[in-house]
Amino acid sequence: MQTLSFPLFTHSLSFRIHPLSPFPSLTYLSSLSEPYATARRSIQLQASASDSAFASSSTIAVDNSDADDSTAFVIRARSRIGLLQVITRVFKVLGLTVDRATVEFEGDFFVKKFFVTDSHGNKIEDSDSLERIKRALAEAVGGDGDGTVSVTRPAVANPGVVVRRPGLVDGVGERRAKAERMFTLMDGFLKNDPLSLQKDILNHVEYTVARSRFSFDDFEAYQALSHSVRDRLIERWHDTHSYFKRTKPKRLYFLSLEFLMGRSLSNSVINLGIQDQYAEALSQLGFEFEVLAEQEGDAALGNGGLARLSACQMDSLATLDYPAWGYGLRYEYGLFRQVIVDGFQHEQPDYWLNFGNPWEIERIHVTYEVKFYGTVEEIDVNGEKHRVWVPGESVEAVAYDNPIPGYGTRNTLNLRLWAAKPSNKFDLEAYNTGDYINSVVNRQRAETISNVLYPDDRNHQGKELRLKQQYFFVSASLQDIIRRFKEAHNNFDELPDKVALHLNDTHPSLSIAEIMRILVDEEHLGWNKAWDIACEVFSFTTHTVVAEGLEKIPVDLLGSLLPRHLEILYQINFNFMEELKKKIGLDYNRLSRMSIVEEGAVKNIRMANLAIVGSHIVNGVSKLHLDTLKMTTFKDFYELWPEKFQFKTNGVTQRRWIVVSNPSLCALISKWLGTEAWIRNADLLTGLRDHVDNTNFHQEWKMVKRINKMRLAEYIEAMSGVKVSLDAMFDVQVKRIHEYKRQFLNILGIIHRYDCLKNMDKNDRRNVVPRVCIIGGKAAPGYEIAKKIIKLCHSVAEKINNDADIGDLLKLVFIPDYNVSVAELVIPGADLSQHLSTAGHEASGTGSMKFLMNGCLLLATADGSTVEIIEEIGSDNLFLFGAKVQEVAELREKGSTLKIPLQFARVLRMVRDGYFGYKEYFKSLCDTVEIGKDFYLLGSDFGSYLEAQAAADKAFVEPEKWIKMSILSVAGSGRFSSDRTIQEYAERTWKIVPSRCPL
């Protein structure tokens, strides 16, 4: 008989048990079934050596001679309530069967013998397996022996079943009794079988939504359902962050003023792996999951690609088990709702919080004071002069947490959004002076800070509010980060080893000045030491291409709102300039270009220059983008610090853009690949190339596309009243309306197609490929040219869609209020997607990646990430047109001498002459593309554009060729997963490693 003695532990620990080879039921943790996960939670126990009740030793022995058909485990332990059930659950979790058991009592102890077999009914004889079982039992039982064998957490990477003690409190007597009582009351994860889910949903209907469980509508059912899902996210959220807190990995803090999250319900249940269970539970209650999912509004806390990229990156960080937090602002009003009246865009507030947000958790106890205005004074501390900021106004930042679940893992990260609330000082001042009205006004002024996404900054008030937003976000986030760091560390030399701060574009760049203020003014570090720390922790990604688009803040404004920060920025710039002079000499033009402070009629702080100087890595978002940064935008900085500059091509998450938005394609891919592993490893999509010539695969692929086109056609008819043919090519351009994205080029191409059809013989029309042209996107409220493009689209659509001669050969539809949820409908249904930016103006372009993943063919310029898409899928599988990056400057120089196609002149003249109405209104729009003024080269690229459109028509009438191109597009899309992007950031920039929370 072998005997194992083990001590009780004075602290909590997590202990992984390797899967045992004789027990096939012990599977990889990502596929561990819910009963096992519940059992894991059920065997959590608390132990402490200080408790005299456990003074005597416990032992576990193995006897393989007592029976021929089973292995005997002999356990001697102090008797306590529930321990026998704990032991039997351990055996169950390990996939073992208890055939029989005996028990004897020795005073306060029992000696219990369990006769156990493996999942095949065989005796267990492998010594390694026996050792692991004993260690699992030791972890569960606890004891206080002679220390001959210590049970510790093995340093292994292989995941397995986990038996864990929470270790919430230490102590004896009453405190321990209370702790054990809490564990008894909450000893298991929430169950995920349909009956348990139904009970949870109905409980939330009655107690959270406060409706009768016998009478509630779809929206109330959605609210109850969402709270039920959130409960399960919170379980994982707590476990994940408790694990991070205990293991102390280096953490990433992702700072972004924009997160375009879209809807959370479908994404959450898919990542949790319980969509089918919820669907069944709801069906039995008389509801449909898909109908309830439509009740959710979009969380539109951002605008365009950068904001949606942030959301994808949070999903990938969670899925890949990286220890990370996201920080942003909880805008009261999201991106405006776009309403079209008579073809004109009108903006309405997006009251996205009017009906509550079940996914967020308000942390009223997590608040930080954020200060503004005031003066800077000099004080004497131990004979040294220190600068101290005496603010004139303060507000409170209140945290709202949003759990972000990973796929195939229990890791659930946190997106913490800050809301502005008035400081209590306002109320105290009002009480003392009797100025109640002033208190209310101050309260309203404080709350406006986090009210609006992108306040109009064309006037001083708008600029001040935007700067307030940025500093409010930065100050609250850094206070939270530093507080968390100081809980576990007391030496700021360790900060770069434990913290990575990432600036997502220039909006959070004030973080550099703020951390210097904290380290120098509050923590009293020397300037040079503080600066070295700051440069090591910060990294920066720029999403801008041209220098004109880089953010600047007027010095006068910054000095008024943040006087101490302006001093710090001047000091940073002075030190930088002095070092720069030593390296490049007195090249005043270059010194002026690289200075953080821009001199001129209006003196500004260049936020991009600050971010570059204060970061150890500067990231571009595609290879072409980095080349542009190196050669033009940041040429001076690249020549100074070439080692700082990297690129990580943006990516999108296949969980959102295939699994959630295109479930039929998801099922088809899994069927033909023979695995769902591609959902976590998108590189496996290349396996579709093996089936590219399979006719059965083609038929199924075609059916999936038709189903998605039906969904989109139904939406178009419901939204616009336009009935479209499913046999037509669905030609889509959806993105923010901007001159460089060239929606105007698309509309002129549609006019050309319409003009050709009108002048074509009826017999010839039979050979024309029918098209449904779909355009969607929002124009910034002050962007008049973009608004005129939207109006032109509607005017052209009215003419075309009502022309009986044209019929189904050509339709034009504008989709209003384009957002993430609409994208999830449009992208799977598209046949062709247009990405028309003038080469050199799109930093990356993640929209093309979403269409690529859904088997949509691209018609595009060689801009942004399209260059890398060509490398992956081949130029034969998309339709390229237009000038290359290196040709653009030369074409602009030619100006009025450029030769413009006659077709371009004709369609432009149709608009000018009022063929589509509003002749005077469209005059300024037409002026932007006149010869010599055509900055974005619409006329120059028009001929090439028409050729690409003709090539698309030719391919579409060969269905087998089109389907092959579609399959190869998806097969080559794995490189453009945000998982790959995040892994590159983690390894090359942030230096963080996965930290997988055990089950």
DSSP string computed for 412-432? EEEEEEEEEEE-HHHHHHHHH
User: For 646, left (φ over 0), alpha (ψ -120 to 50), or beta?
Assistant: beta
What is the helix (H) or strand (E) element at residue 591, kind and residue range? helix 588-594
Catalytic residue among 319, 542, 846, 981: 846
Active site residue 961: no
| Rounded Cα–Cα distance for residues 389 and 377 (Å) | 6
What is the helix (H) or strand (E) element at residue 474, kind and residue range? helix 460-488
Catalytic residue among 484, 630, 635, 736: 736
| Rounded Cα–Cα distance for residues 202 and 225 (Å) | 9
Dig out the tokens for 216 from the structure: 């509630």
Catalytic residue among 735, 752, 788, 964: 735
Active site residue 846: yes
Angle at 667 between CA 663 and CA 668, to 5 degrees: 115
Residue 498 in contact with residue 250, Cβ under 8 Å? yes
Residue 94 in contact with residue 161, Cβ under 8 Å? yes
**Long-range contacts made by residues 350-353, C-beta under 8 angstroms, separation at least 24?**
350/300, 352/297, 352/298, 352/299, 352/300
| Number of neighbours of residue 488 by Cβ within 10 angstroms | 11
Which residue's structure tokens are 């690529």? 852
DSSP-derived pairing of the beta strands 251-255 and 499-504: parallel
In the three-class reduction of DSSP (H, G, I as helix; E, B as strand; rest coil), residue 385 is classed as strand
DSSP 290: H
Radius of gyration of the chain (CA): 32
Residue 843 in contact with residue 864, Cβ under 8 Å? yes
Catalytic residue among 741, 742, 778, 980: 741
| Rounded Cα–Cα distance for residues 482 and 479 (Å) | 5
Active site residue 698: no
Which residue's structure tokens are 């997963």? 977
Nearest CA among 157, 158, 165 for reference residue 140: 165
Which residue's structure tokens are 């156990």? 116
Active site residue 735: yes
Q: Name the burial class of residue 202, with classes exposed (0-12), middle (13-18) and buried (19+) by CB atoms within 10 angstroms of its CB.
A: middle
Which sign, positive or negative, has the C-alpha torsion 741, 742, 744, 750? negative
DSSP string computed for 104-173? EEETTEEEEEEEEE-TTSPPP--HHHHHHHHHHHHHHH-----SSS-----------EEEE-------SH
Dig out the tokens for 872 from the structure: 């992956």
DSSP-derived pairing of the beta strands 499-504 and 538-541: parallel
Please report which residue ranges of 623-761 form alpha helices under DSSP H: 623-628, 635-640, 654, 663-673, 695-720, 743-758
Phi and psi at 354, nearest 5°, equal -60, -35
| Rounded Cα–Cα distance for residues 594 and 573 (Å) | 10
| Rounded Cα–Cα distance for residues 796 and 273 (Å) | 46
Active site residue 671: no
* Residue type at 880 in one-letter notation: L
Nearest CA among 933, 939, 936 for reference residue 749: 939
Catalytic residue among 507, 543, 791, 964: 543
Residue 274 in contact with residue 290, Cβ under 8 Å? no
Greatest C-alpha distance within the chain: 104
In the three-class reduction of DSSP (H, G, I as helix; E, B as strand; rest coil), residue 254 is classed as strand
Active site residue 247: no
Angle at 210 between CA 208 and CA 215, to 5 degrees: 120
Phi and psi at 907, nearest 5°, equal -70, -35
| Rounded Cα–Cα distance for residues 196 and 215 (Å) | 20
DSSP 583: H
Catalytic residue among 606, 752, 850, 980: 850
> Which residues are catalytically annotated?
543, 735-736, 741, 846, 850
